[in-house]
Chain A
Amino acid sequence: MSGTFTHDFKTPAFKGKVSIPTGLFIGGKFVDGKKGETWDVINPTNGKKITSVASGTVEDVDYAVKVAQKAFDETWGLKCPGNQRSKYLNKIADLMEEHLDEFCALEALNTGKPFSWAKKGDMDMALDTFRYYAGWADKISGKVIETSEDKLSYTRHEPIGVVAQIIAWNFPIMLLAWKVAPALACGNVIILKPSEFTPLTALLFAKLANDAGVPPGVINIINGTGPKIAFTGSTLTGRKIMQSAGKSNLKNVTLELGGKSPNIIMDDADIDQAVDWTAHGVYWNMGQACCAGTRIFVHEKVYDQFLKKFTEKTKKVRMGDPFGDVDIGALVSNQQFERVLDYIDSGKKEGATVHLGGEALKKDGFWVEPTIFTDVTPDMKIVQEEIFGPVGVIIKFKDDEDAIRQANDTTYGLAAAVFSKNVDRALQTAHRLNAGTAWVNCVNQLHAQVPFGGFKQSGIGRELGEYALENYTAIKAVHVNFGHKI
């Protein structure tokens, strides 16, 4: 039926053969798309084709929805008790862990991120997330609500039914886990669209979910282009999805979108730690993180010291073959590569100082140097807009109030960080920053237990933690009247 992709990895980080089906995964089977279309998957370290995968269309989605609805009505939903859903989620996690290195290798090959980060970051979080929600699956509770003694009022937190999930290319398997785990825990069936740039780990996942015995139709994975529905991606696309939902059937929408997160270094920060964390904030995942701390505000008293150390730190960031001993790899695609270079260009044109970097590497693939801009003004594009590359801007400030005001002066509100050892200053600043996550003396720390999501145009709703369950349950209030007669 559908094809297979096999790759023999012969790399320092991983040696082995990995084989995955490349079809659409619908109703427990891998199939070609109804129109037989395919999509080329590109290796970002050299711009060359890795393989092609089946690419779905509206017809495939319609079919998948029917299959999924049937599974929901007959074998999943509340017909599959929570503890059984829990077993499936744990089994999925166990199988993923058995194939850990294969996942990491595929992710590194497909996205250009280092194998080592895929292992200690992406997959570690993905496994944690599946196991965390496995634990929730049999703890979905409603409430009994006191009204009067002649009735019983209670709520049921029911699965919604068929949910659509669209994920981004920056953390493919991790975002898949963030979406799939809570949705399944709550008893929903899923139509998931990975990014067309990075479908490979999703396909391995589908194969393993099948092996885990998840009933056919519960998880459906359809690669293809264009958004159709829980969505992680750009704010621009997020709008389109919400508008579509409004136009069609008012489906509930949760969105995890972009950011331009501020990172504030106070004069009483541990500067060495601040430098290390700031580098992590900007360069992790090549800056392709929605919560990247890309606006770096440094108190004037420590500005020179910080800049010097941060520059040294940045120079030590090792960029190269994802399977080597490196810190960062290539950007995910040519599209992104050009976007980031455009932004760097605009920084130069608008008069910012390129303090470090600012160039693409002259070789095949999508490589951009870690870049630091200084002497910026607030209205510059590189200060306002999300670049999604390894580019930080450093801004001097003298006054806490001014730093907080500047930090909050954005349409985004995904995350923020503050470095200070003073308990009052650190926590009160964190509280005043308008963002869904505030990091104190750290950056980009995520846990399956802790909610994550945006204020303002960075999104709607929260993922992770207990909070994510709300996204995937429909509340029904039941009023049972005993004695009230009219």
Chain B
Amino acid sequence: MPQTFEYTFDTPVYKGKTSFSTGLYINGQWVDGSKGTTIDVINPTNGQLVTKISEGTKEDVDLAVVAAQKTFDTVWGLNTPGTRRAELLNNLGNLMQAHFDELAALEALDNGKTFGWAQDVDVTDSIATIKYYAGWADKIQGKTIETTAGKLVYTRHEPIGVVGQIIPWNFPLMMMAWKIGPALATGNCIILKPSEFTPLTAIRMSHLIQEAGFPPGVVNIIPGYGTTVGAAISEHPHIDKVAFTGSTLVGRKIMEAAARTNLKNVTLELGGKSPNIIFDDADIDQAVRFTSHGIFWNHGQACCAGSRIYVHAKVYDEFLTKFTDKAKSLKVGDPFGLDTYQGPQVSQIQFDRIMSYIDSGRQQGATLHLGGERHGSEGYFIKPTIFTDTKPDMRIVQEEIFGPVGVVIRFEDDDDVINQANDTMYGLAAAVFSKNIDRALQVAHKLKAGTAWVNCINQLHPQVPFGGFKQSGIGRELGEYALENYTAVKAVHVNFSLSVK
């Protein structure tokens, strides 16, 4: 029998209880993994065990695929009309709303982000995304295409069938919503692997999904490791699509695995090293605040973090002074504390990675302008960090750190800064601060990234597509665009009068 996780939150910002089975969710039931093993869920504020959850294996993925395919063929897919799929998604959104604080608390406990941010962004955005796609569920349309009068030609945008979804640990609930929303709206069945570091909100969601009324087998949630469950999904011969959010390194493996096995379609949301350009005609105070949000939000653990901060020479000193003050004002501490802005990094591994990058910055001769060290003596807390006097070839300028570490780079010439900004294998996002309409928009257009923010940063909406150029990914999530990832286009040609000889 899978363990039940029971927890009482007694904190300054939230008091409440949670209790749910931590089994794998397969075909509408919560079960032990096939090997009966478990994964430890660790609290990143102190490195202590929160609970154990069931560990999924390849065999569990196989079972789930069989169940999902059967459900797709008999009950789900086009057997359930769009309006009903909409109803179920809305039910889920409503249930998430009813358990709003509980979900935020679980996310803060598991990931280390603050309860406040989990409420304001993660849970809010997740509900909005589910509801947005509920609205699409009965609006999946093909086209009729004029060819000649002797025939009828139309396209159907059909569900693909069983899709695999692998999500990361930085925005666990939100990434789950971004994935299941469009996949369910278009009629697919899902095998979802949450990150082994942050499975709790996904597991809690499995209970809400059941309660919402989704038939067994429509959504299957299998926590496990990338090398086992992740690989099983990427390689599975009867999964026809895999969607992944995570590192570029793993993204490659998934694409290769898909190619090697059954050529399943692949969409990827990968890493970034997004440039943020502040011109001399920017509103500096706003630029400072947005820049801080750009790099320190979620402890820098955001694929689109604006981690390369280019500042025009004319406003460099003013900006740096104000930005430093802003960074100093960010309170690091307990995710459930009052006024905490930043909690711990998600895991020991991440902590070590980031500290190693900070080290490399020092060693390669950058100036450590602020921070650069651990905060406190337990848990994975790192102080907001700023480097200056960098060179383009330094690792801290080239590589994705995924922590609260920004590099500030002085520039003088617009063309030069655009070249520098684009000189990366990534292309996820970019930001520009300028009040001049020509400069602001033309620079935004020239930046090679899937999202360009003008006078803002890290603004996401369920209606607006998000995804990477170059090695930041393949395909777009969110908006109407995401529907393409989960539909198979079939062209039907009905011949009335054409004969052949």
Contact = CB atoms under 8 A, between A and B. Distances in A.
Interface of A: 143, 145-147, 151, 153, 155-156, 235, 238-243, 245-247, 249-250, 252, 255, 257, 273, 276-277, 280, 411, 426-427, 430-431, 435-442, 445, 447, 449-453, 455-457, 459-460, 462, 465-467, 470, 474-482, 484-486
A428 to B, nearest CB: 11
Nearest to B241: A460
A445 B495 contact: yes
Contacts of B146: 449
Nearest to B461: A147
A478 B452 contact: yes
A130 B488 CA distance: 26
Given A242-B255, A246-B256, A426 B494 contact: yes
B493 A479 contact: no
Contacts of B258: 242, 246
Interface string B461-495: 10111110111011110011100100011111111
Nearest to B460: A479
A243 B251 CA distance: 12
B390 interface: no
Contacts of A241: 259
A297 B160 CA distance: 25
B155 interface: yes
Nearest to B450: A476
Contact of A485 (B251, B286, B464): B286
Given A249-B425, A453-B489, 11 more contacts: A153-B464, A241-B259, A242-B259, A246-B259, A436-B490, A437-B490, A438-B491, A445-B498, A465-B145, A476-B452, A486-B293
A486 B296 CA distance: 14
Contacts of A460: 263, 265
B455 interface: yes
Contact of A450 (B145, B445, B469, B476): B145
Contacts of A452: 491
A128 B481 CA distance: 28
B262 interface: yes
Interface residues of B, number: 72
B500 A276 contact: yes
A478 B147 contact: no
B381 interface: no
A438 B488 CA distance: 13
Contacts of A480: 440-441, 444, 454-455
Contact of A475 (B450, B453, B494): B450
B451 A479 contact: yes
B456 A430 contact: no
A153 B293 CA distance: 20
Given A481-B453, A486-B293, A155 B459 contact: no
A242 to B, nearest CB: 3
A420 B296 CA distance: 64
B263 A481 contact: no
B289 interface: yes
A257 to B, nearest CB: 7
A270 to B, nearest CB: 9
B292 to A, nearest CB: 9
A475 B467 contact: yes
Given A147-B464, A276-B500, A437-B493, A257 B451 contact: no
Contact of B495 (A246, A439, A459): A439
B286 A486 contact: yes
Contacts of B270: 250
Nearest to B496: A441
B39 interface: no
Contacts of B263: 235, 238-239, 242, 255, 257, 456-457, 459-460
Contact of A479 (B252, B452, B469, B476): B452
Contact of B454 (A250, A455, A478): A478
Contacts of A280: 500
Contact of B493 (A145, A442, A455, A484): A442
A151 B459 CA distance: 11
A439 B493 contact: yes
B151 interface: yes
Contacts of B441: 478, 480
A273 B499 contact: yes
B30 interface: no
Nearest to B480: A143
B153 interface: yes
A412 B256 CA distance: 20
Nearest to B494: A440
Nearest to A440: B494
Contact of B500 (A277, A431, A459, A474): A277
A151 B501 CA distance: 60
Interface in B257-294: 258-260, 262-263, 265, 268, 270, 286, 289-290, 293
A440 B493 contact: yes
Contacts of A474: 450, 469
B55 interface: no
A411 B261 CA distance: 11
A44 B234 CA distance: 42
Nearest to B456: A481
A119 B496 CA distance: 25
Nearest to B455: A481
A249 B471 contact: yes
B459 A481 contact: yes
26 contacts: A145-B479, A242-B263, A245-B255, A246-B255, A280-B500, A411-B262, A430-B492, A436-B490, A437-B492, A439-B493, A441-B496, A450-B147, A451-B155, A451-B489, A465-B155, A470-B484, A475-B450, A475-B467, A475-B476, A475-B481, A476-B469, A478-B444, A480-B455, A481-B456, A482-B455, A486-B286
A479 B454 contact: yes
B145 A477 contact: no
A157 to B, nearest CB: 10
A155 B488 CA distance: 23
Top 10 nearest A-B pairs (CB, nearest first) are A246-B255, A242-B259, A481-B456, A442-B495, A246-B256, A243-B259, A480-B454, A440-B494, A481-B455, A441-B495
A37 B78 CA distance: 55
A51 to B, nearest CB: 35
B474 A147 contact: no
A285 to B, nearest CB: 14
A454 to B, nearest CB: 9
A153 B480 CA distance: 14
B362 interface: no
Contacts of A245: 255, 259
B153 A455 contact: no
B476 A252 contact: no
Task: Point out which of A156, A439, A477 has the most chain B C-beta atoms below 10 A from its C-beta.
Answer: A477
A78 to B, nearest CB: 8
Interface string B227-262: 000000000000010000000100111111011101
Contacts of A249: 425, 470-471
Contact of B494 (A240, A242, A411, A427): A427
Nearest to B251: A250
Given A249-B425, A280-B500, A470-B484, A447 B153 contact: yes
Interface in B9-42: none
A438 B454 contact: no
B156 interface: yes
B449 interface: yes
A315 to B, nearest CB: 15
A475 B474 CA distance: 10
Most chain-A Cβ atoms within 10 A of its Cβ — which of B252, B286, B501? B252
A277 B501 CA distance: 8
Nearest to B146: A449
Contacts of A153: 461, 463-464
A147 B132 CA distance: 12
A276 B492 contact: no
Contacts of A451: 155, 489, 491
A145 B450 contact: no
A436 B489 contact: yes
Contacts of A477: 450-452, 464-466, 479
